[in-house]
Amino acid sequence: MRIGDYEIEIIVQGYPGKSVCHGGLGWSTLTLIRGKGRIAVVDTGPFGYRTMIREGLAKHGLKPADVTDLLLTHCHHDHSVNWMMFQNARIYIGAAEMAWATKLEWGVNSVPELYVAELAKWSKCQLVGDGEAIWPDLKTYLAPGHTPGCLIFVLEGAEHDLIFTGDSAKNRAELVSRDTDMTFDKKVSAASIDMIWSHWRKKPGTIVLPGHDRPMVLKDGKPTYLGKLEAAVKSWTGDDMETTTTFNLVV
């Protein structure tokens, strides 16, 4: 994908679902933005992504140390916990998000408390607010509901924009229905999704990339996926390491 002077690559494609018996999967979307001298990553994925992050960047001749900007939509572990892989990057996260996440009681939320505490002290951590321009063509907006300080990022191109919705709208179902799973207030989430739609409709061809789904564009007013989704689980189902069954998670 290309937005203005920026080349966009999805390093790990998020998955719109959760496990039936083991809680959240945490399979979030992780994206690389390159252009105008910047190498930026949007969200970090959970611990299980570390090898994929290194391999995904290496495909483009990059290492985590080359990343200049890390944009975090919110503090949940599956979006933030690998921030220390990017020690040379300026790290942007919502001021309201950090104010909330650093005061949480330990062990009750999917915020990685100690990683967030370290991030709050990190000299390259930059707190941002609603309507701020992180770069001249990258704006951030407060989109609460999933967490109190969730941000969306809007990368503006001359022809169309790219909107990173994080978990303010985790997937297509939430975008279309305005109903949400895992929110502290469904009405607050619905208002945030309405705000996303108002940005989405501004320029034809604008792409929305949710925190746990594929990129989409509007065709005749309806969200239409770009790209293919791949997801599967491999299980050891026999008495040796060679006997496995692969469960395809894409319908």
Give the whole-angstrom CA distance, residue 125 versus residue 67.
14
Residue whose C-beta lies closest to Zn ion: 76
Which residue, among 116, 41, 105, has the nearest Cα to 76 in the 3D structure? Answer: 116
| Cβ 37 to Zn ion shortest distance, Å | 30
Sign of CA dihedral 218, 224, 227, 232: positive
Quick one: 39 or 119, whose CB is closer to Zn ion?
A: 119
Minimum CB distance to Zn ion smaller for 76 or for 139: 76
What is the contact mask toward Zn ion in residues 58 to 77, using x (rule: CB under 5 A)?
------------------x-
Shortest gap between Cβ of 205 and Zn ion (angstroms)?
28
* Cα angle value 117/14/180 (rounded, 5°): 80
**Considering the complex, what minimum distance in angstroms separates the CB of residue 136 from Zn ion?**
28
Residue 74 CA, chain-centre distance (Å), reads: 8
The answer to whether 213 contacts Zn ion (rule: CB under 5 A) is: no
Q: C-beta of 36: minimal distance to Zn ion in Å?
A: 29
**Are the C-beta atoms of 95 and 128 separated by less than 8 Å?**
yes
Residues 170-209 as x/- pattern, contact with Zn ion by CB under 5 A:
----------------------------------------
Q: Which residue has the tokens 């900007």?
A: 69
Nearer to Zn ion, 97 or 167 (CB): 167
Q: Least distance to Zn ion from the beta carbon of 114, Å?
A: 18
The backbone region for 83, taken as left when phi is positive above 0, alpha when psi lies in -120 to 50, beta otherwise, is alpha
Q: What are 9's two structure tokens?
A: 């690559």
Nearer CB in complex with Zn ion: 81/125: 81
Distances in Å between the Cα of 246 and the Cα atoms of 21, 203, 215, 236, 250 are 18, 41, 26, 9, 12
Sorted by sequence, the CB contacts under 8 Å of residue 222 that are 6+ apart come out as none
Residue count at the site for Zn ion (CB under 5 A)?
2
Only one of the segments 6-14, 87-95, 115-123, 163-171 lies at the binding site for Zn ion (rule: CB under 5 A); that segment is 163-171
167 near Zn ion, rule: CB under 5 A: yes
Work out how close the CB of 96 gets to Zn ion at its nearest, in angstroms, rounded to a whole number: 15
The footprint of Zn ion (CB under 5 A) covers: 76, 167
